[in-house]
Amino acid sequence: MTLPKDARGVVALDDPRPRGVRLNAEALIGRRARAVDASGIRRIFDLGAKMANPINLSIGQPDFPVPEPIKRAAITAIEGDRNGYTPTQGLPALLTAIRERTRDRAGWRLDDPSIGTMVTSGTSGGLLLACLAIADEGDEIVIPDPYFVMYPQIGPITGARMVTCPTYPDFRMTAERVEPLIGPRTKAVIVNSPSNPCGVVLRESEVRDLVDLCARRGVLLISDEIYDEFVFEDALEHGTCPTPARYSEDVLVIGGFGKTYACTGWRLGYATGPAPIIAEMLKLQQHSYICAPTPLQHGVVESFAISMRPQVDAYQRRRDLLLDALGDKVSIARPGGAFYAFIEVPPRLGVSGSEFVERALAEQLLVIPGKVFSHRDTHFRVSFAVAEDRLRAGLAVLSRLLD
């Protein structure tokens, strides 16, 4: 049988859909989704896509390639047909590598049954699973301000109330600042060091005080350590990033591979900490993410043995370039890690952070307004994860605008 075709050669069948009747999809959207804000960073990305050749100091993505051994291991896994599911908790070899790293950094025992470990679909996936596992409607979670853009959105997704801890002007989330915010419904405190958007690294003493505070008050300390390998020489203590895990096995550590090894699109993270909480996170993962991508898990099994010091040293040099160019013009809390600086717009300019960013956009320069990361609109974020010549060009524009 030959089916009728229209002038374009497309099969023309009678359209069975009723005419004039369309689903009111807008009316079906629930309160939870409506309460979640879209990331303000996306607007800057969208604007940048429309510009011919912008100086992009906005993106929080490493500018070096994935290390060759990691790429080879992932490719080998794909070609070896290791593309099916792993156990929900993750590839056994990768779980062992994560536990060994935590032992080496924090002294946790490999055979401690009170500690659980799992591989997650990105660090963000781990944070969300953790908060879903512990928070009921009306419970509270304390987060820093400024914060990673995801943190406030955990509230409407989980039903928890996100309580912000102001950390201006030095962006240090200290026990002294957190303690007044802990109440009878507080379930957790999230600390991020090195931080996004500020790059600030807490001192060992500040980390230890937070651990002690949370232990006294019966609150879970969640340590978001996505940038733990990106710590500059002048912020290192004991040779590694200060981590709460060094002082307690009751901390939930959320880490990841994407920023460290430039494989952000692979969506690989991990969680390790109190076994009862990890067990509940695993139940949620079984019914949501299932497991992290299998061949990519194979790719990062040996990643902890790869030194990223050359890349970190390059970012430290770029940090120093930024401080030298702008340090006498504006207030900048010295970044000790990651690849960001959170810069105050001088009050003498008489403009908000958002208005300053608009001025930068007019100069073909992309930076992120501080209000994306904060209840205040006084700062802007610069990423120095860019080639040095582009960073110098961007700093020249900022210097001129700040004058």
Look-up of token digits 């699109």: 265
Tell me the residue ranges of DSSP E strands in 108-211: 115-120, 140-145, 161-166, 186-192
- Residue 44 is predicted with a pLDDT of 72
CA dist., res. 398 & res. 403, Å (int)? 8
- Main-chain dihedrals φ then ψ at residue 103, nearest 5 degrees: -60, -45
Give the sheet arrangement for strand 252-256, strand by strand.
115-120, 269-274, 252-256, 220-224, 186-192, 140-145, 161-166
Of 123, 105, 148, 138, the residue nearest 242 (C-alpha): 105
Give pLDDT tens digits for 189-229: 999 999 999 999 999 999 999 999 999 999 999 999 999 99
Of 52, 42, 44, the residue nearest 361 (C-alpha): 44
- Residue 2 is predicted with a pLDDT of 66
- Residue 46 is predicted with a pLDDT of 72
β-pair type (365-366, 269-274): unpaired
- Residue 178 is predicted with a pLDDT of 98
Instruction: Tally Cβ neighbours within 10 Å of residue 114.
Output: 12
Give pLDDT tens digits for 10-63: 666 666 666 678 889 999 999 888 888 877 677 776 766 777 789 999 988 999
CA dist., res. 201 & res. 254, Å (int)? 16
Look-up of token digits 């009306």: 138
CATH top-level class of 84-305: alpha beta
- Main-chain dihedrals φ then ψ at residue 348, nearest 5 degrees: -65, -20
Ranges in the chain, pLDDT < 70: 1-19, 40, 45, 47-48
CATH superfamily of 35-65+308-402: Aspartate Aminotransferase, domain 1 (3.90.1150.10)
Average of per-residue pLDDT values in the chain: 93
- Residue 38 is predicted with a pLDDT of 75
- Residue 65 is predicted with a pLDDT of 96
- Residue 59 is predicted with a pLDDT of 86
Between the CA of residue 12 and those of 17, 19, 29, 76, what are the distances in Å? Answer: 14, 17, 34, 46
- Residue 16 is predicted with a pLDDT of 65
Q: Where are the domains of the chain?
A: 35-65+308-402, 84-305
- Residue 96 is predicted with a pLDDT of 97
Under a CB-based contact definition with an 8 Å cutoff, are residues 316 and 232 in contact?
Answer: yes
- Residue 52 is predicted with a pLDDT of 76
- Residue 11 is predicted with a pLDDT of 63
SS (H, E, C) 69-89: HHHHHHHHHHHCCCCCCCCCC
